[in-house]
Amino acid sequence: MTVHRDLDALASQGIVRRVHGGVTVRSSNLVESNFLYRSRLAEREKQAIAFAAAELVEPGQAIIIDDSTTAGRLTSFIPARKPLTVITNSVTVVEQLKEAHGIETICLGGRFTPRFNAFFGYVCEQAIGSLRANTLFMSASTVFSGVAYHQQEDVVKTKRALMGIADKRVLLVDSSKFGVTALIRLANLSEFDVVLTDSGIAPTEAEMLRQNGVNLRIVQIEE
């Protein structure tokens, strides 16, 4: 009974999901995993992708960093690119940049969602619509046949709104996300100016994307 109570408590916090015969922390095509769990996946790949993404940032720009754990890694590298204005719906990004000199942070409010540690919903989308940015850095849950997907409708709506206010769109996706699908279509990869991934992507997948007009850049991961 103690084990069941503990699992119920973890499920209520969004850290695990109860499934038939047990529990799981992994995402499915319907439900995304908890933010803390996702932040610990593919750490080396995400760090390398974020480092490469930071090279696309120029001092004086206004950039957007979405709620994703991959784009959130940019906070380690962008202070060197100051001065900057950072627009975000992620509480984690705000927390990590709060003492960064030369960076002005604009937090998009709305309905707070603990699973993603971020804001979504109507209020968030209204705030997005009042702004304009140079570059958006965002991620997706999965990529299948040249299309990015996510499990949650509110998240997709917010990401689409962010795409609409950026002059340049950069998608950051580690190679483990390719060949997997999720419930809701987010965007074609061709809608992004740059798609950054790591060298774990299958060569056939990379070639297919490039043949379909995707500006794919691959970051080499040392073995």
63-81 per-position pLDDT tens digit? 999 999 999 999 999 999 9
Q: Does residue 94 sit within a domain?
A: yes
Q: Grade residue 111 by pLDDT with cuts at 50, 70 and 90.
A: very high
Is the per-residue pLDDT at 46 higher than 50?
A: yes
CA distance 63 to 75: 12
Main-chain phi, psi angles of 96, to 5 degrees: -75, -20
206 lies in some domain = yes
Whether 15 is covered by a domain: the verdict is: no
* Of the candidates 193, 212, 194, the residue with the CA atom closest to the CA atom of residue 204: 212
Task: Give a yes or no: residue 4 inside a domain.
Answer: no
Expressed as residue numbers, the domain containing 64 is: 28-219
Residue 185 lies in a domain: yes
If pLDDT is split at 50, 70 and 90, which confidence band does 6 have?
Answer: low
pLDDT at position 30, please? Answer: 43
Q: Residue 215 maps to which CATH number? A: 3.40.50.1360
Residue 20 lies in a domain: no
The total number of structural domains in the chain stands at: 1
Q: Exposed/middle/buried for 25, CB within 10 Å: 0-12, 13-18, 19+?
A: middle
Residue at 21 is within a domain: no
Within a domain: 106: yes
> What is residue 33's DSSP assignment?
P
Asked if residue 96 has pLDDT above 80, the reply is yes
